[in-house]
Amino acid sequence: STVVQTPVVERLLPVEPAALTATERVGYLYEPDTLGVLETLLPRFVEMEVYHTLLESIASEQSARMVAMRNATDNVNELVGDLTVVMNKLRQESITNELLDLIGGQIALEG
pLDDT value of position 111: 74
Asked if the model's pLDDT at residue 14 lies above 60, the reply is yes
1 domain residue, yes or no: no
23 domain residue, yes or no: no
3 domain residue, yes or no: no
pLDDT band at 49 (very low <50, low <70, confident <90, very high): very high
Number of domains present in the structure of the chain: 1
∠ at Cα 86 (80, 90), nearest 5°? 140
Q: Range of 102's domain?
A: 28-110
7 domain residue, yes or no: no
62 domain residue, yes or no: yes
**What's the predicted TM-score (pTM) here?**
0.63
Burial of 5 (0-12, 13-18, 19+ CB in 10 A): middle
49 domain residue, yes or no: yes
20 domain residue, yes or no: no
